Amino acid sequence: MGSNPNVDPDRIMEKEHVIQDGMDISGHWNRMFEQRVIWDYTPELIDKVTEVEGGESFGWCYQCAQCIPVCPVDIVGDYGPRRIYRRVQTGEDLFESKDLWQCTTCMNCLRVCPKEVDMIKIMPAVRQEAILKGNVPEELQKAFENTFDYGNPLGESPKKRAAWLKGSDVNVPLMKEKKKADILWFVECYPSYHPRGIEASLALAKVLNILNVDFGILGAEEKCCCDSQRLAGEVGLFEEFAEHNIKTFKRYKVKDVLVTDPHALNAFRKEYPKYGAKFETIHYTTFLAPKMGELNLAKKLDHRVTFHDPCYLGRHNGEYDAPRDMLKAIPGIDLIEMGRCRENSYCCGGGGGGMWLDGFMADHVSERLSERRVEEAVETGADVLAVCCPYEVSRFEDAVKSTGNEGKLVVKDIIELVVESME
């Protein structure tokens, strides 16, 4: 056998003459090596993560790599919990790493992890520590500052939170005037301020009125639910806003909350109860799906539609059927599923602070997650990409343009398709 230049000859053990059970294993046939010690491991950097409250499960990874094929960031980059663990194991400080900010907390890795390494806890915990030391991407910091100063990450005036109603003949009562309602509709930030979010909000308001739902909104009294900011590491901001919103809910004795945003659904169901909240929360698709028969859906739409499951409605909160039931109830719609759907749905890239990190992510991925998802939608032959999360309309519409698919694919909120059929 030829010599290996990477092996120290002094560490080779080899007997010149050996007969074992009648077999001649002399020379290199009995070659053994001294125990190889790996000196470049950095267990102290793993401990640095696991010692943070919430980061404990990081140390449970045994590098099976089942997370890698399902990680949406790895599909367009070089990422995933196993890769992160290995990098930390061999010298990377996660608290100062670019890897810290790429995770969208989509939860697909946790879905397949046999050791339950929970990035939805690990990443916010480490991010919180990094933020306290001033290590935060500039565009994310800007979103935090806007939220703190204006009550929303877009930096819009809190006094104009209900301005989306101006010029509309749709009746949307304010709780401060109505005082009491069966349902409080928590509109959230992008549906209140973003032009495409406003279109979906007006559509939902119209449907609620047609169904004679007794509801009201908070208007200027409403502040961001802050779930994405929490997952991006701004826990203090989340706590302050949670306390404000809970106090407002209690003032009106709210029992049932309707949300447009799956991120608000997640915050209200899983996090706000830790701060004393006692109310039930339902996403608008879950609320409307059983009521579709009460609407006059007279217009046949003749659309080939594919649906994108929002991570925080599907994997995080288990709702897959209601959006599809709504789409199937609309006359003329041919629903086509993408290859990655339901439990294995791809991520739009907006979760976990990703909504405000497109500039940062551009340096680390070959294309935006929203662009990859639009390409998957186009591959189905659909002419409409249906969504039910406020982050997605703007993200996917931008991606339709940047991928050169204008004229091939239109992005619509499900509630917009419902109203289109009613007209």
- Is residue 4 scored above 90 in pLDDT? no
Q: Supply the range of the domain harboring residue 367.
A: 293-422
- Is residue 38 scored above 80 in pLDDT? no
Domain end residue (candidates: 71, 101, 132): 132
- Is residue 224 scored above 90 in pLDDT? yes
117 C-beta neighbours (distance < 10 Å), count: 22
Whether residues 237 and 147 share a domain: the answer is yes
Which of 2-11, 309-318, 387-396 shows the lowest per-residue confidence on average (mean pLDDT)? 2-11
53 C-beta neighbours (distance < 10 Å), count: 9
Q: pLDDT value at position 263?
A: 96
CA dist 372 and 312 (Å) reads 19
Whole-structure pTM value: 0.87
Query: Half-sphere exposure (CA, 13 Å, Cβ side) for 251?
Result: 14
- Is residue 7 scored above 70 in pLDDT? no
- Is residue 93 scored above 80 in pLDDT? yes
Average pLDDT (125-129) is 97
Whether residues 303 and 322 share a domain: the answer is yes
25 C-beta neighbours (distance < 10 Å), count: 14
pLDDT band at 53 (very low <50, low <70, confident <90, very high): very high
Residues ≥6 apart with Cβ < 8 Å to 35: none
Whether residues 233 and 96 share a domain: the answer is no
User: Which two tokens mark 166?
Assistant: 């101006």
Q: Is residue 199 part of a domain?
A: yes
Whether residues 114 and 219 share a domain: the answer is no
State the sign of the Cα–Cα–Cα–Cα dihedral 229, 234, 240, 242: positive
Which of 46-50, 251-255, 311-315, 414-418 shows the lowest per-residue confidence on average (mean pLDDT)? 251-255
271-297 as b/e, with b when 16 or more CB fall inside 10 Å?
bbeeeebebebbbbbbbbbeebeebeb
> What is the DSSP-derived secondary structure letter of residue 143?
H
CA dist 205 and 209 (Å) reads 6
Task: Look over the chain and give the mean of its residue pLDDT values, rounded to a whole number.
Answer: 93
Query: What letter represents residue 316's amino acid?
Result: H
Whether residues 417 and 338 share a domain: the answer is yes
Higher pLDDT residue, 14 or 237? 237
Whether residues 156 and 128 share a domain: the answer is no
Whether residues 339 and 391 share a domain: the answer is yes
Domain end residue (candidates: 117, 132, 147): 132
SS (H, E, C) 43-99: HHHHHHHHCCCCCHHHHHCCCCCCCHHHCHHHHHCCCCHHHHHHHHHCCCCHHHCHH
Q: What percent of the chain has pLDDT over 70?
A: 97
Whether residues 389 and 316 share a domain: the answer is yes
Whether residues 285 and 379 share a domain: the answer is no
CA dist 148 and 348 (Å) reads 25
Q: Cβ distance 115 to 205 under 8 Å?
A: no
- Is residue 386 scored above 80 in pLDDT? yes
Domain end residue (candidates: 289, 310, 333): 289
Q: Is residue 24 part of a domain?
A: no
Average pLDDT (37-50) is 86
Give the chain's domain count.
3
Average pLDDT (3-9) is 65
Note the helical H segments in 151-234.
175-178, 190-193, 195-210, 227-231
Whether residues 251 and 281 share a domain: the answer is yes
What are the tens digits of pLDDT across the range 100-109?
Answer: 999 999 999 9
Q: pLDDT value at position 2?
A: 53
User: Which two tokens mark 258?
Assistant: 């309707």
Q: pLDDT value at position 1?
A: 46
CA dist 171 and 205 (Å) reads 7
Residues ≥6 apart with Cβ < 8 Å to 356: 139, 140, 142, 143, 153, 232
Q: Cβ distance 307 to 327 under 8 Å?
A: yes
Which among 269, 266, 261, 169 has a CA at the least distance from the CA of 222?
A: 261
CA dist 233 and 125 (Å) reads 7
Domain CATH number, residue 359: 3.40.50.10700
Which among 250, 239, 242, 240 has a CA at the least distance from the CA of 278?
A: 250
Q: pLDDT value at position 39?
A: 67
- Is residue 340 scored above 60 in pLDDT? yes
